[in-house]
Structure 1
């Protein structure tokens, strides 16, 4: 098999050499690309690179891919998992794409294989692996001025050499320090020694909450490299091991844009893996673009170019007029290609989704949202919380920089990694602003050994360490009776476990409370401090139970958290709101059935209301209902 492949490769290279420059004369690339608002790229893994050396394979697959998902650029990989392409193979494939007017860049995956799907990185205490890393970077720099690193520039090895080198440091400290040196000594320097003009972009994957434990350094690496890129592949939120929530495909772009001083993130990256229905693929592409990513990369070439059909999956909503009407897309494609010998593939799904989103992006301004502070290299027990909040209709602007200019901010347990966080909170409140903190933030900052008494210097609230099961909810601003937040007055909601917060009555006010038996517990506490207002939001012990509470609970939270935003929505979990600075907004449903969404618009006079004067339910609000089909989005002007 290997000898046969070698003979085929040699024959193809010989053919290319004989064909000469007439066949491979470059065609000028299109100035504007195939889409108005973004560039589309496809990533080509190293084994595919080698197969595309054959001109017949290249021509067939190029035609298949371009006919389904018009693309502007390819990343040609030269190394992955101890497997190298040769200089001749890389150059041959590069020239064929250039002859088609396609922009070319290099790709490399610094990994060493794995065990039954469990990833295995290089062992950077191994001289052999270090040499392989340098060799791979030098190879790519010889052929390209732009090289992207796929996900695997992290560190999992715990060999005897690693254990010895770590010493008494934590694995996190050891890996961060090691990967800073690796970035410079084994990646950047070897590449620039070959090509001083090479630009190296590090692609960060989707599991950002755990990065520092594996050596991804969001505090220093983004400035070490020439650019960064975002993995926006959230895949299916139920069957995958990470259970990434759909909103992250949008939110992670927003976050990565705050990591570099220039505020730039190169684009988003989506694959076709772990998808139970074709709409989920489209949703990831839409949400990446709703965040205004300048480029989308499709991983990888095979799904877009091979003759394998796309699998629609189980879609009970297939007969409805959804945004991604796969049956209609396929029917239109077959009508336009009556003689096609193979059915449409994943490339058609990508092409249709990108065409749809490209058509609406000119209506949307700059993305906005509730600034939510996550310092670089911070992790917490409130794992991926901002994405769950996005899935219950709260537009989030996740940022690595403290948002001191915002009128309202949200701080989670991860925010407490900033050693000066409580002083920053005080300054916000003294300026008359609103600060929302989670129960996890309270727990992380209530250290009684601090001279300033920690969080309790703001308000004497503390996490007791107990947990309570709540199964009923009420809201009420001020003293007196509350209004039930049940869906059905006769049916109690399911039990949800919350951390218990202790507070002093009439000092802090439980404006939304949960009930268990004969006791009430705060879900949203309010306390006035200086000229501002501090809110404490209790997060369920299982963050996923944000979806299990009656929708009225989080809808009530939004009346306070989004009091100064032009629009908010009231809807069940699984409906997201994306807002923009030109007043436009997008409502997207990830639900399987049509959903009625209440849209609440606030009269905006151009002046931010002081937090201490904010009272929800203002009479100037206007309310309307819209129906969003399953797995669909709708764009609205302000």
Structure 2
């Protein structure tokens, strides 16, 4: 529920315009100033799309006349925003005449323009979170259809913010559920509602209209609240991904690790394929460094569009340092976007089946990535991968023991959690696999088939993994990364590694302290790189 607790009504106070650039560490040398910096920033904007949202409240309060619209345009141009989403509904309607005026104005100014709907505070309330609706209820469904018919008249593309779920357990829902689990019922309900009350009416009103479902970042809870990422992705025209991780120590947002943005986008894009659009993040509980880390992760994950939520927030004076930092990072982001497009993505396959349950290992993939193990997320069993990471999520696959045995006997390398090792230890199909036992410390076992099995202790809080001695972490990491990506990394925790194609490496330091990093991919000095990463910086290395 972390990202769904977003402050969804944006205030109008403290708007700031004309933000200036600041220096930043990373891929851009400090000497790039003046005209050279401006050219680099312009190039960044050419290669990446930056976008923002005018919420329904923004439209009504901040786009009331031409002066307001001009002011917002100047802000967008300063940040490099070339696409805007104009929201028709977020608990209240935006006035139609203001929607039309804004749409036509920004189109004439050369910006791409789409619509948006946020499905909160309408119809019958859920018995859970009071912003959410009971979608079993007929009146709620009728109101939902009304909202989308209205919006489809005005826009050829509609984004749905990440509140299209339900947690209601009212008597009406209980009766409709019957003997099904809440997961089964909600997955079926939200797909049916999406098809009949959103997609069909929108396409009927406007055959050109494309409807985007934006998934939040709480991927381990999707199925419990009706987000079926396989069935809904198939149904909707496009998908979008929430990459809002925020401050990793902010408990009210779930203390999300920065790597989560990368993992969820790569995982969902594997399901969505060409339907996958951009990544969306916000300013909440963000320092300038953490805010831009969301952008780095979004771009490294391959997103072609960086969505900055929302105009009312990002234009506040209090958020000026965040926007300054983003502007200064745009040349880096452009270079990272080029690198992230290189295929294949190399690393350790991370298996998370659709609708899989964490069973006590919630979001563990994010922590594994923060250990410097480059993950290649997948919703299918990675039978042909050279190395794979498996957690309790993999038990969703009923054939897991047989598949894992075949994988290891093919010579594959695996790193699995101690909880999963304990569950699999008595499986007949794995009876001849050495080292398959829970342990308090990492264990590495050579298999009879020329592979390695690593068992990693996994006890909440998973930040305890960051306490592994660096020598031990290097040993665990390199046992699976070297065969999968052809590189070894010696580095402390909270330094992430990304491997693109045969030559490009990216390392990012998420820590508040400098990190000494050694990368090895061959013999001699030509086959290694030693770098010191400043806190919260990114570096590209070509081997």
TM over 0.5: yes
Q: Secondary structure at the match of 1:161?
A: helix
Higher relative contact order structure (alpha carbons within 8 Å, sequence separation ≥ 6):
2
Separation in 2, partners of 1:279, 1:570: 24
Q: Is the 8 A contact 1:286 1:354 kept in 2?
A: no
Q: Pick the aligned partner of 1:441 from 420, 429, 438.
A: 420
Aligned match of 2:367: 388
User: When you count strand as a share of all residues, which structure comes out higher?
Assistant: 1
Q: 1:586 to 1:33 in 2, by over 3 A?
A: closer
Cα deviation for residue 620 of structure 1 reads: 11
Once the two structures are overlaid, the 10-residue window that deviates more, 235-244 or 158-167, is 158-167
The CA RMSD over aligned residues, in Å, is: 2.5
Cα deviation for residue 256 of structure 1 reads: 1.0
Q: Does 1:457 align with 2:435?
A: no
Count how many residue pairs are aligned between Structure 1 and Structure 2.
493
What are the equivalent positions in structure 2 for 1:299-338 lying under 5 Å apart?
Answer: 299-306=309-316, 308-310=317-319
Aligned match of 2:492: 572
Q: Pick the aligned partner of 1:632 from 519, 537, 540.
A: 537
Cα deviation for residue 432 of structure 1 reads: 2.5
Q: Pick the aligned partner of 2:169 from 147, 151, 158.
A: 158
What are the equivalent positions in structure 2 for 1:168-317 lying under 5 Å apart?
Answer: 168-241=179-252, 242-260=254-272, 262-275=273-286, 277-306=287-316, 308-310=317-319
Separation in 2, partners of 1:196, 1:264: 18
Q: Pick the aligned partner of 1:594 from 497, 514, 518.
A: 514
TM-score normalised by structure 2 residue count: 0.85
Q: Pick the aligned partner of 1:417 from 378, 396, 399.
A: 396
Q: Is the 8 A contact 1:120 1:156 kept in 2?
A: no
Q: 1:62 to 1:118 in 2, by over 3 A?
A: farther
Q: Is the 8 A contact 1:233 1:284 kept in 2?
A: yes
Separation in 1, partners of 2:531, 2:244: 29
Deviations 1:592-638 (A, max 9, x none): 122212222246xxxxxxxxxxxxxxx99955431111111111112
Aligned match of 2:477: 558
Deviations 1:559-600 (A, max 9, x none): 211132222322222211111114111111111122212222
What are the equivalent positions in structure 2 for 1:10-49 lying under 5 Å apart?
Answer: 35-49=45-59
Of structures 1 and 2, the larger Rg is shown by 1
Aligned match of 2:29: none
Q: Does 1:88 align with 2:97?
A: yes
Cα deviation for residue 417 of structure 1 reads: 0.7
Separation in 2, partners of 1:462, 1:581: 32
Q: 1:285 to 1:132 in 2, by over 3 A?
A: same
What are the equivalent positions in structure 2 for 1:362-373 lying under 5 Å apart?
Answer: 362-363=338-339, 365-366=342-343, 367-373=345-351
Q: 1:88 to 1:267 in 2, by over 3 A?
A: same
Q: Secondary structure at the match of 1:111?
A: coil
Q: 1:622 to 1:426 in 2, by over 3 A?
A: same
Separation in 2, partners of 1:550, 1:345: 36
Q: Is the 8 A contact 1:303 1:346 kept in 2?
A: no
Aligned match of 1:430: 409
Q: Does 1:356 align with 2:326?
A: no
Q: Secondary structure at the match of 2:442?
A: strand
- 5+ long unaligned stretches in structure 1: 1-31, 311-343, 464-499, 502-520, 604-618
User: When you count helix as a share of all residues, which structure comes out higher?
Assistant: 2
Q: Is the 8 A contact 1:429 1:529 kept in 2?
A: no
Q: Does 1:375 align with 2:385?
A: no
- 5+ long unaligned stretches in structure 2: 1-41
Cα deviation for residue 379 of structure 1 reads: 1.9
Q: Is the 8 A contact 1:458 1:529 kept in 2?
A: no
Q: 1:408 to 1:576 in 2, by over 3 A?
A: same
Deviations 1:47-75 (A, max 9, x none): 112231411111122213322x0111111
Deviations 1:300-332 (A, max 9, x none): 0113345x242xxxxxxxxxxxxxxxxxxxxxx
Q: Pick the aligned partner of 1:99 from 98, 101, 108.
A: 108
Q: Is the 8 A contact 2:351 2:377 kept in 1?
A: yes
Q: Is the 8 A contact 1:269 1:296 kept in 2?
A: yes
Separation in 1, partners of 2:130, 2:443: 41
Separation in 2, partners of 1:587, 1:119: 42
Q: Is the 8 A contact 1:34 1:71 kept in 2?
A: no
TM-score normalised by structure 1 residue count: 0.73
Q: Is the 8 A contact 1:120 1:157 kept in 2?
A: no
Separation in 2, partners of 1:363, 1:398: 18
Separation in 1, partners of 2:70, 2:174: 50
Separation in 2, partners of 1:392, 1:460: 25
Q: Is the 8 A contact 1:107 1:149 kept in 2?
A: yes
